[in-house]
Chains A and B, each alone.
Chain A
Amino acid sequence: MSDTAPAAPTAAPAPHGEGHHTNYVKIWGILVVLLVISVLGPMLEIRAVTLITAFGIALVKAYLVAKHFMHISLERKWITYLMVTMLALMLVMVGGVAPDVLKHDGLRWENVAAKESVKKGNEAGEKAAHGGGHGEHGAAPAGEHH
């Protein structure tokens, strides 16, 4: 780490980037190839291929950026633990809310507004897809706030 700050006696500047020779242009090249695959893959319109090429590759790209550009692997271990903890907290939030958002009915309850919204949106979308569309911007923005 090239810290130009005046060094205090307790300062322990961690070496960061010095001594390792990552070919950054090569990493960038790999990222660009992965980008091309993530755009072309979903064009096959196969659900599994879309999931792998779009979202699987996004994970790989994020890993490459974090490892080689952010140098997280050269950082103190607890920085990685901190990041993982934050991701885990996010998953706790999603896990806690998901049943309410994903399900629109259950035992003795029904989310009428959400059901109506999906029905209305699907009808408007299908209508636009069968004639109402104009070019790239085909489907009308169906009003469906709930």
Chain B
Amino acid sequence: MAFPRPIATTRSVTGIPTGRLAVWWVIASEIVIFGGVLGSYIMHRLGHSDWQYQSANTNTWAGAFNTLVLLTSSLCAVLAHQAAEKKDGPKAARFLMFTVLGGLTFLVVKAFEWTNEIKHGYTLTSNTFWSFYYTAAGLHGFHVLAGMVIMLFVAADARKNRELQRVENIGIYWHFVDVVWIFLFPLLYIAK
């Protein structure tokens, strides 16, 4: 059964389609959320010289691999957008599925990484460094998961050449999640 489209989704008084505008507002609020976490982490890191001993235990290669995975998934998301611009829904859906695969790979690597760290006694309550580590990476991982789920729905419609504008919208969100990781990576994995 087809539902009538709410008028708010078809108007564009700001010159930006409503869906895309909503995504930008989500990102605006996310900047404050992740900015708060990262800002607090940086301040504590600078104020606690002892954190260097804890941060030495994060796996740089796992972090670097996950960065490569997210960058590649972002490429797939923007190629999906390009296909949607050409009204090629099935191709856009294929690229979105590759993006989801990238997200899944990222989470699997993260799961192995965390399992190894927890086995060695580095847990959320070990000390403030690990509290920040699991909070920041966990919050980011949750955003990856949320993006993957939404992308599956968008891909299902795109495959039938429906709601192609949503391909770009979910892509913008995914790129933002990528940008957050671009900053998390040096903070948690490189600054030893």
Q: Which A positions have Cβ atoms within 8 angstroms of B? A: 1-8, 10-14, 16-18, 24-25, 27-28, 31-32, 35, 38-39, 42, 50, 54-55, 58, 61-62, 65-66, 68-70, 75-76, 79, 82-83, 85-87, 89-91, 93-94, 97-98, 101-104, 114, 117-122, 124-126, 128-129, 136-146
What B residues does A142 contact at CB under 8 A? 50, 53-54, 127
Cβ-closest 9 pairs across A and B: A121-B50, A125-B53, A90-B35, A141-B126, A54-B186, A139-B53, A86-B31, A94-B39, A137-B120
Report yes or no: B79 in contact with A16, Cβ–Cβ below 8 A: no
Given contacts A13-B12, A101-B44, contact A117 B50 (CB under 8 A): yes
Taking CB atoms and an 8 Å cut-off, the chain B residues in 1-52 that contact chain A are 5, 7, 9-17, 20, 24, 27-29, 31-32, 35-36, 39-40, 42-44, 46-52
Binds A, one of B70-78, B103-111, B140-148: B70-78
User: What's the tally of chain B residues with a CB closer than 8 Å to chain A?
Assistant: 85
Report yes or no: B57 in contact with A138, Cβ–Cβ below 8 A: yes
28 contacts between A and B (CB under 8 A): A2-B164, A4-B163, A4-B164, A5-B10, A5-B165, A13-B12, A16-B20, A35-B67, A54-B190, A58-B183, A69-B175, A70-B176, A75-B24, A83-B27, A90-B39, A93-B36, A101-B43, A101-B47, A102-B43, A102-B47, A120-B50, A121-B51, A125-B50, A137-B120, A139-B53, A139-B54, A139-B57, A141-B127
Other-chain contact of B7, A8, A65, A114, A145 (Cβ < 8 Å): A8
Report yes or no: A38 in contact with B186, Cβ–Cβ below 8 A: yes
Q: Say if the beta carbon of B139 comes within 8 Å of chain A.
A: no
What B residues does A136 contact at CB under 8 A? 57, 59
Inter-chain pairs besides A79-B24, A125-B54, 6 sampled, C-beta below 8 Å: A39-B60, A61-B182, A114-B47, A139-B53, A143-B127, A144-B127
Report yes or no: B53 in contact with A129, Cβ–Cβ below 8 A: yes
Closest Cβ–Cβ distance, residue A22 to chain B (whole Å): 8
Report yes or no: B165 in contact with A39, Cβ–Cβ below 8 A: no
What A residues does B10 contact at CB under 8 A? 5-8, 11
Report yes or no: B71 in contact with A122, Cβ–Cβ below 8 A: no
Report yes or no: A1 in contact with B165, Cβ–Cβ below 8 A: yes
Other-chain contact of A69, B11, B46, B74, B164 (Cβ < 8 Å): B74
Q: Chain A at the B interface: mostly helix, strand, loop or mixed?
A: helix
Query: In the complex, A136 Cα to B12 Cα: how many Å?
Result: 54
Given contacts A69-B78, A145-B127, contact A39 B87 (CB under 8 A): no
Report yes or no: B190 in contact with A137, Cβ–Cβ below 8 A: no
